[in-house]
Structure 1
């Protein structure tokens, strides 16, 4: 075992990657707030132009797509540097590190949600299935299947966000095993690349041809795995070129192209002239590719983040904590507004997302980070995953 294999700071923070993560989690928070207020009868139509409202509040799905690409990239790049190559993968170490990062907060969240369900707390009671089955699906990484295939509806707040964790955790389960098996075969590297390429090809098909229903179109394993696979391929290429000279102008150009690609997808809704593009399932892959271009350029040409992006990058560093806790504030904040109905609605749309920051910080400071250090045996303060 190398000195950094278990706990060393194998991957420093990259401002561009944290920025992508921050934009991803903020887009999810804003979408959930918009949906909760909308279904409660509070709309922003008189306050914000429709196109701006779409850009700000309707891109949560795109945010999840971005995060899948980031996750695949960081997990692969970190594994390459931690183990000295994917062929040297140690599954036990990989699983221990992933468990240390994910399990403490996830288990705490499920305990809290169980109590809220059993006490009949408004907005948190499980319907359409049983609490034991919901817990079992969360523990066995198939909550997305439970919602889309068995229930045909979403679980209550804070439960429904776990569909994306089911996808990611399934990736975490198989990633080290595939690495271990593929690289033991002749031409193992090509086998591994073929597997990733297959997922990239199947992603658009899973969103356009194969889905059993509209929910499964967005939340199935295959529909989400192309973004992760693109991130993995980008990390392999980044690591391969890390010590080779690349013209800064080329990296700047890739950064600009990646940012322009992301802006293109998030600005124009797919129900306009982009409808065929969206129906083909290629829009999500294109969005993930834009993120990959930015991550590739960011890692090979690391720069300090701009001061004005610092708050967004903070959200990126605490994206997991904010993701699992933000619905508490959204549900209770919407209920409070419906009850007292005081103050401009826009102020509530600003205050509630901002309050997710202190809640995320407290969760990280007093739960996630201490447990992560304890379970790993040491803590890499600058680690990205």
Structure 2
């Protein structure tokens, strides 16, 4: 997941409004920021704790509290809020580091990624620079928990975009409420209640909308500003309520904060990718962060987990930590696809180094400078020759570090030129080509070009499902007269990907092949869950349409193929092997009884994604995967189910692997366009093998 420390003002600024005595520095908030960024980084890089992504919710609350406190403080002091000053401060605080990381990531991506992946990263950088990347990721259907495809190195900018969009509206709304209260003679506590009422409406409205959006558009809901506004609103409510919170008895304040820390710790281990987000998934972490902040209003006690020097320093550099860690993780992972332990070590070390350098040399000096100020409000610190030399040397070292990481990626030329694949005629010939691919050390010319894999889509409407169950699907009905030799292909996107193979094997022999597949909707007798909610809702109707067509048409041949590891409706969990077997067996016995012959075509073994592992730095051995035990277990179940009379199982692992080792290309042809979908070029290459496998089926 991508989340992170959102940019907020210095905690000492806000706490002065909230009545904290002394210097007013909120060390507890700085420590809370440190906890949040650390768990986010650990979850991204190490996958632990599972709920580490709730750190973004903590930062939304912190941001809402501090920014609103700053605005209220200015209004109390001057009777107005200067939007120009507010946005100048935001630009000075946010833009330098955000732009630095964007530029460095863009340069490194251009030297590492191929074709479409680089172009996609460039677009991500543009949208992130405009603080609209959350809508970019929502519009392209990004799954926040995506693990089976290329991940944008800039995906983490979504949370920064949400925050800045909120602050385009919230200061204006706050000023309008305060101005109206003063105009109506309701200043003081009355204006406080009016502001609280407006904020309460924003929070409630956002939660209600988030509940709807989670149910109807879960992928969009995660990135949606409207579904996230309530989290910033809770922090803002805390700022408005500081006069009340300051009355909390001193002995009770530590209890508030310890209770908040405990709740945050619980959320780290109880929230997971299966939890609906942002509601109700973020509620515990938001309430917990609010308790920590509320407990520190009006006076602080020493809370070692939050107020020690280490925690405060990590809180200071949290923005830099957040911005650097995710690009480094993705870029290093792409450069070292086989570095299971090396990637986390390099990511954590590189993040720490770059964050310390960029904080002291870029972020903090610019934040404290008078850049963008219309006039000097204070006497600038005297810059000695030594100081200037030290900063120049530090910036040079920072740029050199990034340049070395980026330019080292030019070692291998891009395998962009398409080759003419050599057709195969037997399994022995294919095995020889696989062994050759396993032994080569340099990239040959490949087809389809690796840089264009992102553009590969199903053709002729394949995988679109059947109308009327799927409004935008295909008209699957077979018009009269019915073909003498009719074959239909059913299943999800795996079945759709096999269509070029089935057509190449059957159509030259006079068969008519009809596509009845629906990507994301496996042909199983069970309710399944797709990452795309529209598919989940349309899937049962599509299956019923296919069942009706098979019963009516009585095709001579049905080819079925589904992806393994399906999620069933029950809690959205992956189906067990027993559940998979039962759903498959029921589909065969009850849904396909009218078919003449049934062939189950095993899905390709899941492997490395060529869009991720084929880079300018990688070599063919970096993209070799192994046949997993899960794939083998599902394969055994498939053979058992389809061994009944009238059905056959065609194993395909030997079409991709030798001795359980599977290359990313065979005979110059890329075998998969992602982790488990065969390319059309490789599918057609395998046609002679399918023809051979169908001989006993069609002769029976």
Corresponding residue to 2:205 among 183, 202, 205: 202
- Which is greater in Rg? 2
8 Å CA contact 1:158–1:324 kept in 2: the answer is: no
Which residue pairs with 2:32 in the alignment?
20
Q: Find the partner of 2:46 among 34, 39, 42.
A: 34
Sort the Cα spacing of 1:112 and 1:270 in 2 relative to 1 into closer, same or farther, 3 A: closer
Question: 180-189 vs 316-325, which deviates more?
Answer: 180-189
Structure 1 segment 261-300 matched on structure 2, within 5 A: 261-269=263-271, 281-300=279-298
Q: Distance in 2 between matches of 1:379 and 1:67?
A: 33
Q: TM-score normalised to the size of structure 2?
A: 0.44
Matched, 1:99 2:97: no
Structure 2 stretches lacking a partner, 5+ long: 1-8, 15-23, 145-149, 382-700
Matches of 2:82 and 2:192, distance apart in 1: 17
Name the SS for the 1:81 alignment partner. helix
Give SS of 1:84's match.
helix
Q: Determine if contact 2:153/2:330 at 8 Å carries over to the other structure.
A: no
Alignment RMSD (CA, Å): 3.5
> CA offsets, 1:106-134, max 9 Å, x none?
1222222332343344799445x573x43
Name the structure, 1 or 2, with higher relative contact order (CA <8 Å, separation 6+): 1
Provide the residue aligned with 1:237 in structure 2. Answer: 241
Residue 255 of structure 1 is matched in structure 2 by 257
Query: Is 2:210 the counterpart of 1:215?
Result: no
For residues 335-374 of structure 1, the aligned pairs below 5 Å read: 338-339=337-338, 345=341, 349=344, 352-374=347-369
Tell me the SS of whatever aligns to 1:314. helix
Contact 2:112–2:335 (CA<8 Å) still a contact in 1? Answer: no
Say if 1:199 and 1:226, in contact at 8 Å, map to a contact too: yes
- Note if 1:168 corresponds to 2:163: yes
From 102, 106, 120, the equivalent of 1:110 is 102
Whether contact under 8 Å (1:123, 1:156) holds in the other structure is: no
Q: 1:124 to 1:287 in 2, by over 3 A?
A: farther
2 CA distance for matches of 1:266 and 1:156?
Answer: 23
Equivalent of residue 229 in structure 2, options 225, 236, 240: 225
Whole-Å Cα distance in 1 between the matches of residues 75 and 380 of structure 2?
A: 16
Residues 195, 350 of structure 1: alpha-carbon distance in 2 compared, 3 angstrom cutoff: farther
Deviates more, 1:189-198 or 1:217-226: 189-198
Q: Quick one: distance in 2 between partners of 1:293 and 1:371?
A: 32
Q: Quick one: distance in 2 between partners of 1:106 and 1:335? A: 22
CA apart distance, 1:335: 5.0
CA distance in 1, matches of 2:44, 2:251: 39
Please say if 1:148 is aligned against 2:113.
no
CA contact (8 A) 1:255 1:293 kept: yes
Q: 1:156 to 1:271 in 2, by over 3 A?
A: closer
Distance 2:159 2:304 in 1: 30
SS at match of 2:313: helix
**CA distance in structure 2 between the aligned counterparts of 1:80 and 1:262, rounded to whole angstroms:** 28
Q: Matched residues in 2 for 1:360 and 1:220: separation?
A: 28
**Cα 1:279–1:15 shift into 2, 3 Å:** closer
3-state SS of the aligned residue for 1:210?
helix
State yes or no: 1:138 paired with 2:128: yes
Residue of structure 2 equivalent to 1:321 = 320
Paired with 2:115 and 2:42, the residues of 1 have a C-alpha distance of: 18
Q: 1:255 to 1:249 in 2, by over 3 A?
A: same
Normalised TM-score (structure 1): 0.76
Q: Are the structure 2 counterparts of residues 329 and 305 from structure 1 closer, same or farther at C-alpha, using a change threshold of 3 Å?
A: farther
State the shift of 1:371 in Å.
1.7
**Residues of 1 paired with 2:115 and 2:302: CA distance?**
42
Once residues 67 and 8 of structure 1 are traced to their aligned partners in structure 2, the CA distance between those partners, rounded to angstroms, is 13
> Structure 1 residues 73-82 or 221-230, which shifts more?
73-82
CA distance in 2, matches of 1:199, 1:177: 14
Q: Comparing both structures, which one devotes a greater share of its residues to helix?
A: 1
* Partners of 2:153 and 2:331 within 8 A in 1: no
